[in-house]
Structure 1
Amino acid sequence: MEAGGGRGALAFETCHPVVPAVYFAGVIGIGIFVLQPVFAALSVAGALCFAVCCAGWRGALAQLRWQLPMIALVCLANPLFSQSGVTFLCTLGPVTVRLEALAYGLCMGASLVSMLQWVANAARVLTEDRLLELSGTRLPVVTTMVSMAIQLVPQLRRRFGVVESARGACTSAKAPRKGGRVHASTVLMAWAMEDSLERADSMRARGWELGGSRSRYRLEALRTGDVAAAAAVGLLALAAALAAGVAQAEWSFYPTMPALRPWWGYVPFVLLALLPTALTLVLRLKEGRLGSVENR
């Protein structure tokens, strides 16, 4: 972040929430259902690029500190459960490690990390207010639950730090270190349950779900340009999904992996994965704040 400046613009912030909803549904759906090395690598690269735009280099690297070990764990654990493949690498006791099993685990771990990154990026663009705006009055309970979960997870993390700081400042709590995390979690759960009762009483006092449908003020209007943008993003996601389906059908990890070659079918997904990063850079270039990123 620039000194004294606020957070730079992000992609999809100036359009109706339906546009980012279509985008993230497409890119996350392709990442979940397509397990092919090139598409997994492109998904990770696109998610990390947009994570840098959203949270800055430090924020993105902080997430990678615990996500990269996850990739290594999945990659190394897969040969324990799968002995398929023909390319022998080594033998570790009763386990025969084969290249195909390692590649499958690596691809699975990369897909998992990319999904975590995309969901985190979506939470920064589709805030609680925008989720409520997106669903309207059709799914009020589900929307409220999702928005509260998005709000409460970072709140619980902050409160866990508060509890740990309080325990560290208390001299009587410093001696017994065993069970410290359990004690902090117990305090945190009691704090959360107390808050849940207050939230329920507050919602009941405001007449939540009493009577028929209630009118509400729309913060963002669905314009013609938003419909066109959502349709364009949807068509791009459809093209990427069709190409990904073809690539998935022609790829197999077992018994042996085919050679990867350049293919035009990767282009739609490249455009889809890098779309929010490119839009963010264009917006910040117009603002004259190309180097502005948010460090959290």
Structure 2
Amino acid sequence: MGDTFSTCHPIVNLLYFVFVIGVSMFLMHPVFLGISLVCATVYCAVLRGIGKTVRSFCLFTLPMLIIVALVNPMFNHYGVTVLFYLDNGNPITLESMVYGVAMAAMLASVALWFRCYSEVMTSDKFIYLFGRVIPALSLILSMCLRFIPKFSQRMQVISNGQKCIGRDISNGNLVQKLRHGITSLSILITWSLESAIDSADSMKARGYGLKGRTAFSIYRLDRRDRLFLAVMAILAGGFF
């Protein structure tokens, strides 16, 4: 699902995510962390849909929040407000629990912002920004960033196909499920290797890496983009 911000110039998208991720990582104030977590969740719902975001939040983000918030006080015993003592004599303090909640909120918000980044900053935008400066590295990074979502999509296609013939990992006993899983993984690896060969042949046919090769870009920095940059510069100046 697209949004208006995704249509902005790639430099605007990149600087925005650098700003919000930096604020989420380095400002440990509970108010800023709460705002960052809420905004990241809402924007992720706009980009990926409410259903996917809620399911992902309940399956991954919420358990991570709970685990980090509970584990931190067991190892970090700093603080002056002792709530109770563990069996080994180590104190559990209010400050360590609050810090654990803040750390969990920071990790969750950063993870959600990176998920939004992967939806907005496509490989075309990344190569446009860094293709001339670091062409080889930008290509490698853009391909690496798309590996996980692309593998997930392909695995879903393979799983649906295997399910139609009764060979999905949900069918049969434990040994059969393991065998079906290995078969699906083998299909995924073969498909990915074949796709990599096709991509290499396509790049070679189009003259990628040749000296003097020109590039075409559809991105133009317009008035709206300049306004976004000005607002972000003002906000960044206020924060830092």
Q: Tell whether the structures are fold-level matches, with TM greater than 0.5.
A: yes
Is the 2:168–2:177 Cα contact (8 Å) retained in structure 1?
no
User: What count of residue pairs does the alignment treat as equivalent?
Assistant: 233
**1:71 equivalent in structure 2:** 65
Is the 1:10–1:125 Cα contact (8 Å) retained in structure 2?
no
Is the 1:159–1:188 Cα contact (8 Å) retained in structure 2?
yes
Cα distance change of structure 1 residues 179 and 114 upon mapping to structure 2, 3 Å threshold? same
Q: Which amino acid aligns with 2:167?
A: C
Per the normalisation by structure 2, the TM-score is 0.83
Comparing both chains, which one has the higher relative contact order based on Cα–Cα distances under 8 Å and sequence gaps of 6 or more?
1
Deviations along 1:215-274, one digit per CA (max 9) or x if unpaired, are 1111012235523431322221331x32xxxxxxxxxxxxxxxxxxxxxxxxxxxxxxxx
Is the 1:133–1:219 Cα contact (8 Å) retained in structure 2?
no
**1:170 equivalent in structure 2:** 167
**1:214 equivalent in structure 2:** 213
Q: Which of 3, 9, 13 does residue 16 from structure 1 map onto?
A: 9
What value does the CA root-mean-square deviation take over the aligned residues? Answer: 2.7
Q: Which of 131, 139, 150 does residue 144 from structure 1 map onto?
A: 139
Structure 1 gaps, min length 5: 1-6, 243-296
Deviations along 1:148-180, one digit per CA (max 9) or x if unpaired, are 234332221122234444555239973315646
In terms of mean alpha carbon deviation, does 141-150 or 166-175 score higher? 166-175
Within 2, Cα distance between the matches of 1:224 and 1:171?
52
Within 1, Cα distance between the matches of 2:136 and 2:24?
28
Within 1, Cα distance between the matches of 2:180 and 2:3?
37
**2:119 equivalent in structure 1:** 124
Cα distance change of structure 1 residues 213 and 58 upon mapping to structure 2, 3 Å threshold? same
Structure 2 gaps, min length 5: none
Within 1, Cα distance between the matches of 2:168 and 2:111?
39
Q: Which of 93, 98, 110 does residue 98 from structure 1 map onto?
A: 93
Higher helix share: 2
Alignment of 1:1-296 (within 5 A): 7=1, 10-65=3-58, 66-94=60-88, 95-168=90-163, 169-170=166-167, 174-175=172-173, 176-177=175-176, 179=178, 183=182, 184-185=184-185, 187-210=187-210, 212-239=211-238, 241-242=239-240
Q: Which amino acid aligns with 1:78?
A: N
Aligned residues with identical type, % of pairs: 30
